Amino acid sequence: MASLSISSRVLGIFAKWPSPGQAKTRLSPTDPTWGARVAEAFLRDGLTRFEKLEARRVLAFAPVERAADFAALTGRRYELTPQGEGDLGRRLNVFFAQQFERGAHAVAAVGTDSPTLPMAYVQQAFTALESADVVLGPSTDGGYYLIGCRARHPPLFENVAWSSHRVLAETINALKDPQWNLSLLPPWYDVDEAADWDMLCGHLAALRRAGIDPNAPHTEALLRAIRPS
């Protein structure tokens, strides 16, 4: 099958404005300002990394009241669309449906919780969608860091316990029908809790020691900050 054109591929980045008390609350329950700082660093680094991908890039943002802030942050690098109401499943379902209605042939969605996610994995997702119906990037916390569909999408977003370790398993359960062809990406990790932050710090240091640029300057700038207990 021929490769999909850039205009027919859509990458959706789901992001929430990094307000204290509203972002990364599990990372440091006692200091919401720290969680917001981390979330902002992840958001800024993610937007810079994802803009290199050859696809139509859409930032699905929340809350809607922050539209002007997101516009100022992204400039003209991204199309902007509000996430809308409801749980994550409903918002994902609406996003995918809207992009297919606009003529997309392959749509993938990611968050900003994986600041070291290799861009090769995202590119691999679109390559997989040239033949697969669904592509998933499993995350080590039991969810997924990427989900993508081709031309149409199965009922993936209902009856899922969002923000739990069962997300991936329940998503796979929705794909029991053999008509759906699934492709898998390598596992990766999200950063949601204090232990995840410690893992990230070690990983960034290891990448630097190995002579690899992690392309996460805002996140690296926080390495010298003292995380509250």
User: What are the boundaries of each domain within the chain?
Assistant: 6-224
Provide the CATH number for the domain formed by 6-224 in this structure: 3.90.550.10
pLDDT in tens, 163-222: 889 999 999 998 888 889 999 999 999 999 999 999 999 999 999 999 999 999 999 998
Q: Which residue has the tokens 């139509």?
A: 56
Q: What is the pTM of this model?
A: 0.93
What are 52's strand-pairing partners? none
Contacts of 10 (CB under 8 A, 6+ apart): 55, 56, 57, 58, 99, 104, 106, 107, 108
38-94 residue pLDDT tens = 999 999 999 999 998 999 999 999 999 999 999 999 988 999 999 988 999 999 999
